[in-house]
Amino acid sequence: MTNEKLRELFNDLSLDEKIGQLLQVAGALYDEDALTTGAMDYFKITNEELDTVGSILSVSGAEKLKKIQDECMAKQPHHIPQIFMLDIINGFETIYPVPIAQGATFDPDMAERLASMAAREGAAAGVHVTFSPMVDLVRDARWGRCMESTGEDSYLNGVLGAAMVRGYQGSDIKEKGKLAACVKHFAGYGGAEAGRDYDNVELSEHTLRDEFLPAYEASIKAGAKLVMTSFNTLNRVPSSANKWLMRNVLRDEMEFDGVLISDYAAIKEMVNHNIARNEAEAGGLAIKAGVDIEMMSLCYSRGLQELIKEGKVDPKLVDESCWRVLVLKNELGLFENPYKDASSEDEAKYILCDEHRKLAKEAAIKSFVLLKNEDNALPIDQKSTKKIAVIGPYVETHDVYGSWTFPSKPEETCVSLRQGIEKYVDSHKVNITCSFAEGSFFYDRPSKMKNGVTYPYNEAKQAEMIEAAVKEAKTADKVVMCIGEHAQQTGEATSRAEITISKGQLELLRRVHEVNDNIVTLVFTGRPLELEEVTKLSKAVMITWLPGTEAGNAVSEVIFGDREPEGRLSMSFPYKTGQEPCYYNRFRTGRPNNGTLEQFYVNGYIDQIDRMLYVFGDGKGYTEFEYGEVLLDNTKLKTDGSNTLTASVTIKNVGNRKGSEIVQMYLSDLYGSVVRPVKSLRGFKKVTLNPGECETVSFAIDESMLRFHDINMEYVSEPGECKVYIGHNSDTENGADFELI
Ligand code: BGC
């Protein structure tokens, strides 16, 4: 539709219809099988109110959505089409690794391809918008939503978030197979106090701007059409009422001109925050802050008319928001084609097609992070190994998708570990006997999870399972332990006070270790966990995250050595939960410690060395690399931005098989008018080398990479000594000095 036509339509709408465009309701109101991503019981809407609704969330399926679209358009006074939105987080039905694992790939090209694949499936199923990417910076692993972010580094999150936006949207969201992307949760949601979901966020404006905002900004600059508000308060104001955040920062500074949508019932919840006396007042605050669409509460629908009548809200605000919603509908091409790409033929053609499964497998392999590999325990030596025992609750389960994969049917679609290993051994004619034992329940007691399922536990059965597993371990040459936190322990509303593996699973590991110490442990998780004991009892430790549809196939190719694990940690793993929040780029302290417990009156703890068990960026493949010195082509970088430096390093594969390495470049501003992080990731490159082969990897450094917010909140770089580090992980000391002049 032309802009003029859209204007004509807009001018013809009643205030009621305009406000209706600002309401988003759950698909469960139209389809009883639709999923829900939050409470529904409070949401009582009249049929009349439903007639003017502008968008619907959490329902999918080509034929279903065509029908809902027809019904809704028939009722709409101006027959305006609905937008269908859904959380397509790590795939639609072909599920690929959870976002924290995608972070571990350090691979924007892969993130883009995955998003594009998810868009193709979602669009075929009639969806128009995905609530992704989630680029919240996550530093506290107690927060269950770590799983939904690409990790603890703002730069990495920005690079991957922007790639996902490109993948979902392509160059034009109208195109077949494309979705509009929604960047969330603006802003600072990952800073929830003590990792408690929905909690207050206390951030200085400096940290907000230097560490938290850049990833949102990078994704917005990549063209994301929507942004979602966060549940949390920031500077004591819930985001959905935060005028400064939404109007000054998001709209003016970041120049975002798309649709701003509230999170699920976040506007109504401002009454619970006690910043509004009632829902109408909450609606007034949100519209003034510039929130366009209200998801799953009725503050706008029931309050705005009155507030406008009383002169408390300017009707122009409703006009502004309604216009943005109509523009998005037009950009999606819905006025010409309200079904967009919904097609049952395309659903059959694309969903879980071979090409998509292949990509999901590739992504899983690229996301696995090998953290320890003593005596080359991995890959399994097919010549000397006669029997392996594959043990743990992750052996049989299909529940390896994470908690945001509603339309998928894991029982039918996921290749479990056991299925993958059996198929591999059979098809590759591997001469190794494999036995399988679950060995333990996931939980230490019957546990009701947010998906409504109660996961069982029975003490006698637990003891029996351990005995059966130990029996298998005794006669095996090698044990592959498959343990971790349950998929339902990750995602929204799954904060944990202890980031541990269940006692039952640890007991299983100890008992197995008593009879066989040749253990390779695969850790399935959506967040960093305490792994000190697991590390001690295992020759090899590999983080497999929640790998998705191709879990069993990907794991088999890696443990049997066709492929090496290629990921690097996107979040630091502490020794103990009490170290959280835990991240590599901390500020310099006045009393640094030396990493022992022998010092006092220094920063840290008296009962735990102030180091991480595994640092951000860590991980290895099946070969070894040697780094040369960091060389700079020039040691003076100008603050006026008129030159760049090139830092390079030669890396050599000194092992005996082909392998890849993610070369990481960190910058450090040694002295500043405000305290700065010890170092910050500013670049990375993947290299793949044959044994004995060398490659020189270079990074351009420019002045903008050293900018930060000074005490006056000016975004500046300051002259002075700096250092560039290029190495294997965030602990690298391989550096060279330069000066900003
Ligand atoms: C979550 C969002 C999600 C929304 C819609 C909320 O509870 O915080 O991330 O996009 O539900 O499902």
Q: Tell me how crowded residue 59 is: count the other CB atoms within 10 A of its CB.
A: 26
Ligand 1 atom closest to the Cα of residue 404 is 12
Q: Give the distance (Å) from ligand 1 centre to CA of residue 183.
A: 12
For residue 676, the SS3 value is: coil
End-to-end CA distance of the chain: 53
CA distance 540 to 698: 32
Look at residue 318 and tell me whether its pLDDT is greater than 90: yes
450: pLDDT confidence band, cut at 50, 70 and 90?
Answer: confident
Look at residue 379 and tell me whether its pLDDT is greater than 90: yes
What's the pLDDT at 472?
98
Ligand 1 atom closest to the Cα of residue 131 is 10
Give ∠ CA 405-111-726 in degrees, rounded to 5. 130
Look at residue 36 and tell me whether its pLDDT is greater than 90: no
What's the pLDDT at 35?
83
Please choose, from the candidates 133, 168, 550, the residue with its C-alpha nearest in 3D space to the C-alpha of residue 353.
550
Please choose, from the candidates 120, 59, 83, the residue with its C-alpha nearest in 3D space to the C-alpha of residue 327.
83
Q: Give the distance (Å) from ligand 1 centre to CA of residue 263.
A: 6
**Which residues, 6 or more positions from 665, have their beta carbon under 8 angstroms from its beta carbon?**
647, 681, 682, 683, 684, 699, 724, 725, 726
Cα dist. 493→96, 196, 210, 231, 357 in Å? 22, 8, 27, 12, 29
Q: Give the distance (Å) from ligand 1 centre to CA of residue 132.
A: 10
Atom 6, ligand 1: which residue's CA is nearest?
A: 264
Atom 2, ligand 1: which residue's CA is nearest?
A: 263
Q: How many helices (H) and strands (E) does the chain have?
A: 21, 31
Q: Provide residues with CB under 6 Å of ligand 1.
A: 37-38, 57-58, 87, 131, 184, 263-264, 492
CA distance 285 to 266: 12
Please choose, from the candidates 577, 701, 581, the residue with its C-alpha nearest in 3D space to the C-alpha of residue 212.
581
Can you tell me the mean pLDDT for 432-444?
97
pLDDT digits (tens, 9 = 90+) for 381-395: 999 999 999 999 999
DSSP code for 715: E
What's the pLDDT at 407?
86
Give ∠ CA 626-631-633 in degrees, rounded to 5. 150
Look at residue 39 and tell me whether its pLDDT is greater than 90: no
Atom 4, ligand 1: which residue's CA is nearest?
A: 264
Cα dist. 105→141, 653, 660, 690, 740 in Å? 19, 20, 12, 20, 32
Catalytic residue among 263, 292, 346, 610: 263
Can you tell me the mean pLDDT for 547-569?
98
Angle separating helix axes 315-331 and 279-289, nearest 10 degrees: 70
DSSP code for 711: T
Can you tell me the mean pLDDT for 437-458?
92
DSSP code for 388: E
Of 42, 264, 405, the residue with max ligand 1 atoms within 8 A of its CB, to mutate for a pocket test, comes to 264
8-14, Cβ contacts within 8 angstroms, sequence gap of 24 or more: 9/78, 9/80, 9/326, 10/319, 10/322, 10/323, 10/326, 12/78, 13/78, 13/322, 14/77
Q: Are 85 and 127 in contact (CB under 8 A)?
A: yes
Q: What is the average pLDDT value for the chain, to the nearest integer?
A: 97
Can you tell me the mean pLDDT for 12-21?
98
Tokens of 26: 């759950």
Can you tell me the mean pLDDT for 486-494?
94
Ligand 1 atom closest to the Cα of residue 184 is 9
Tokens of 543: 């983080």
Q: Give the distance (Å) from ligand 1 centre to CA of residue 552.
A: 29
For residue 28, the SS3 value is: helix
Please choose, from the candidates 75, 128, 54, the residue with its C-alpha nearest in 3D space to the C-alpha of residue 301.
54
Q: Give the distance (Å) from ligand 1 centre to CA of residue 260.
A: 14
H/E element, 632: strand 631-632
Can you tell me the mean pLDDT for 723-727?
98
Q: Tell me how crowded residue 454 is: count the other CB atoms within 10 A of its CB.
A: 11
> Which residue's entry shows tokens 């002075």?
720
539: pLDDT confidence band, cut at 50, 70 and 90?
Answer: very high
Q: Give the distance (Å) from ligand 1 centre to CA of residue 230.
A: 9
Ligand 1 atom closest to the Cα of residue 231 is 8
Of 16-25, 33-42, 311-320, 686-695, the poorest mean pLDDT is in: 33-42
Distance of CA 105 to the CA centre of its chain: 12
Instruction: Indicate the pTM of the whole model.
Output: 0.98
Can you tell me the mean pLDDT for 340-345?
98
What's the pLDDT at 553?
98
More confident residue, 408 or 602: 602
**Which residues, 6 or more positions from 52, have their beta carbon under 8 angstroms from its beta carbon?**
16, 17, 19, 20, 21, 23, 76, 77
Q: Are 531 and 575 in contact (CB under 8 A)?
A: no
H/E element, 321: helix 315-331
Ligand 1 atom closest to the Cα of residue 185 is 9
H/E element, 625: strand 625-627
pLDDT digits (tens, 9 = 90+) for 215-247: 999 999 999 999 999 999 999 999 999 999 999
Atom 12, ligand 1: which residue's CA is nearest?
A: 37
Distance of CA 415 to the CA centre of its chain: 22
Atom 11, ligand 1: which residue's CA is nearest?
A: 264
What's the pLDDT at 33?
86
Does the annotation mark 257 as catalytic?
no
